[in-house]
Amino acid sequence: MARRDSASRVFVSTLAAWAVGFLIFFPILWMVLTSFKTELEAFSTPPSFLFFHWTTENYATVQERSDYVAHAMNSLIIAGGSTLIALLIAVPAAWSMAFAPTKRTKDVLLWMLSTKMLPPVGVLVPIYLIFRDFGLLDSRTGLILVLCLGNLPIVVWMLFTYFKEIPKDILEAARMDGATVGKELIYVLTPMAVPGIASTLLLNFILAWNEAFWTLNLTTSEAAPLTVFIASYSSPEGLFWAKLSAASTLAIAPILVLGWFSQRQLVRGLTFGAVK
């Protein structure tokens, strides 16, 4: 009887998981399908799911109208650069908070997290003026800087959580063997926290890749990433749903491929626990 109950629970849980997964994935699936429709079919009522005239005309139009490769390179450089710089800053910061805490460590962590509670529009004007005066408007350097600082609290918090799971005895043994702080970070701590660092890198890269507010307000053409590429298909004449869906599909394709190949490392990092 217990086995039947267990089997039925597994079946129901699996079915529920697939249903929730499909519900979450359905908007993406619908976007991809719409990208292969004509504009007339994209607006048709009732909407057609699979039985429509499939066409790749929207992708050809998007490529002719906008330079996808240039926008994708900007996204790659901006997301990758901001992620790497944030990691270089966050690793020693999280190490000091995890293994050399003070009475104010929790307050500092809470203060860092509180910076994410402020709506970005609240600081848009001063940041825009700073960027204008320093010549950082519509530049990759400016976007790398603002995205790095914006996502830095999340990176520090995640790495702090992972580092806390590592036994202090291992680091103390390394110090007794003569390891300096730098060697301890590079040769002892970092290899042990590779799953956590990898998942932090991936999540921060996705956040930077999908950032729309700052990229839309601080760039125009030269450093415009894929978020600006997508927004260009919203015009006063209206929304061209098929072309907008094609542009959005092209924009998320690289990050979907990255997530697919990194899913094992991501799951391992999110379930990272103490060394036993």
- pLDDT at res. 194: 81
Residue 269 has pLDDT above 70, yes or no: no
154-198 residue pLDDT tens: 999 989 988 888 888 887 788 787 777 778 777 888 888 888 888
Read off the pLDDT band of 268 (50, 70, 90): low
Residue 85 has pLDDT above 90, yes or no: yes
Is the residue at 6 inside a domain?
A: no
* Number of Cβ within a 10 Å radius of residue 74: 23
Percent of the chain with pLDDT over 70: 92
Residue 142 has pLDDT above 90, yes or no: yes
- The CA-based angle 61-63-69, given to 5 degrees, is 165
Residue 59 has pLDDT above 60, yes or no: yes
Strands 238-239 and 234-235: antiparallel
Percent of the chain with pLDDT over 90: 24
- pLDDT at res. 2: 47
- pLDDT at res. 275: 42
Rounded to the nearest 10 degrees, how much is the dihedral formed by the CA atoms of 21, 273, 264, 230? Answer: 60
**Whole-number Cα distances in Å, 21 to 15, 18, 69, 262, 266:** 10, 5, 31, 18, 17
Contact (Cβ atoms closer than 8 angstroms) between residue 140 and residue 167: no
Is the residue at 50 inside a domain?
A: no
CATH number, domain at 186?
1.10.3720.10
Residue 8 has pLDDT above 90, yes or no: no
Strand partners, 234: 239
Q: What is the rounded average pLDDT of the residues 131-138? A: 91
How many folded domains does the chain comprise? 1
Read off the pLDDT band of 84 (50, 70, 90): very high
Read off the pLDDT band of 67 (50, 70, 90): confident
What domain range is 223 assigned to?
67-270
Is the residue at 45 inside a domain?
A: no
Q: Which tops the pLDDT comparison, 88 or 239? A: 88
Q: What is the rounded average pLDDT of the residues 200-228? A: 90
DSSP 8-state symbol, 178: T
Is the residue at 29 inside a domain?
A: no
Is the residue at 173 inside a domain?
A: yes
pTM for the predicted model, two decimal places: 0.83
What single letter denotes the amino acid at residue 78? Answer: I
Is the residue at 252 inside a domain?
A: yes
Stated length of the chain:
276
Is the residue at 35 inside a domain?
A: no
How far is the C-alpha of 107 from the C-alpha of 12, rounded, in Å? 43
Is the residue at 150 inside a domain?
A: yes
Q: What is the rounded average pLDDT of the residues 30-40? A: 88
- pLDDT at res. 1: 46
How far is the C-alpha of 62 from the C-alpha of 160, rounded, in Å? 43
Coil, strand or helix at 213: helix
